[in-house]
Amino acid sequence: MQCDYFDAGLCRSCTLMGVPYGEQLAAKEAHCREQLAAHEGITWLPAVASAERGFRNKAKMVVGGTVDAPTLGILDAAGHGVDLQRCGVCDPGLHAAFPALVDFIRLARIQPYDVPARRGELKHLLVTISPDGELMVRFVLRSQESLSRIRKHLATLLAALPNLVVASVNLQPEHKAVLEGADEIVLTERQTMRMRVNDVELGLRSRSFFQTNTPIAAALYAQAREWVAETAPASVWDLYCGVGGFALHLAAPGREVVGIETSAEAVRTAERSAAEAGLPGTRFLADDATAFALASTVPPELVLVNPPRRGIGTALAEWLERSGVERVVYSSCNAVTLGRDLRSMPSLRPTRARVLDMFPQTNHYEAITLLERA
């Protein structure tokens, strides 16, 4: 893929920009195979390719410039805004929304935050698009200074973007490089955006995690569903379940599915999706995945884990090792920690594995592997 911003040296976020896509995918699979090289006899399914461009369902735009000429993109080395509204990895529906958001910043006089001067209000715009073209927009602000003006002019924004279904303000008062703060003020009647993935309706609230590449997420959940269906377990845990993407794909008549996740907001959303889908056997609990497993008395027949980049860690891996669970599905966005976690559970051997390219133009990717007790 070619990118004018990259070629002009304005943005280097996509570290593999310009590298032919086939080479990127081959290198990712080679890297994954390296991390699992200690394990013999793995059947590698063909890597799942992504669209090279327009695949990101979420734009995290740093706001810079002035209230009359805001930039949406990143900050340069001096802390000044660089406009990246045509960023090619973003879904075209996000590009289409940016001009109306810029107009709204002007209308509501929301001063972009000036990092070097430590002045201003609007730090980031976080915009997510659903597979049906609905939008969620979050304004990350230093304080509530502009909140009443945002409320006052919101109807104009909603008229300009009729597909905008959830809008919120997030307060991030500190002068440090974090994306968002703890306080969220939802401005619209709706708090949840529906995310249709395969035949499953997921919900997304402002602060919950969602896989950034929806078609690849669909392939990932479908892969897990296929492997789980082979043995039709009566009980399944989905650890690190987020808004329930895996759990809701694995729900089946007569099967008990339990999703565990630290974010109470994500758990509430997952519970609602399960209720709306009529899945009484699917439950969600806000808990630490390791604490939940260690406190349990009866392990399920199958465990699926999908941890953050740090992996599941030694305590949970050792619990899985001694749990007697026959099959584990491990979905990982960091094959290095996946390889490390596997060393702590030698009885659970990876028998099948697949790379899915969740993050084209970067070195990152998702890997899913089926572990079976030897």
Interface residues toward ligand SAM, by CB under 6 A: 209-211, 240-242, 245-246, 260-263, 266, 288-289, 306-308, 333
Q: Which residue is nearest to ligand SAM (CB)?
A: 242
Q: How far is the CB of 164 from ligand SAM (least distance, A)?
A: 23
Question: Which residue, 59 or 304, has its beta carbon nearer to ligand SAM?
Answer: 304
* Cα(191)–Cα(209) distance, integer angstroms: 15
Number of Cβ within 10 Å of residue 324's Cβ equals 10
Joined tokens for residue 233: 């377990």
Q: How far is the CB of 360 from ligand SAM (least distance, A)?
A: 18
The three-class DSSP label of residue 7 is helix
* Cα(220)–Cα(298) distance, integer angstroms: 28
Q: How far is the CB of 131 from ligand SAM (least distance, A)?
A: 14
Please choose, from the candidates 96, 94, 98, the residue with its C-alpha nearest in 3D space to the C-alpha of residue 83. 98
* C-alpha angle 127-249-219 in degrees, rounded to nearest 5: 65
Residue 55: DSSP 8-state = -
Place of tokens 């992504």: 50
Close Cβ partners of 372 (under 8 Å, ≥ 6 residues apart):
326, 327, 348, 349, 351
Q: How far is the CB of 306 from ligand SAM (least distance, A)?
A: 4
Annotation says 333 is catalytic: yes
Q: How far is the CB of 273 from ligand SAM (least distance, A)?
A: 12
* Cα(359)–Cα(340) distance, integer angstroms: 22
Active site residues: 333
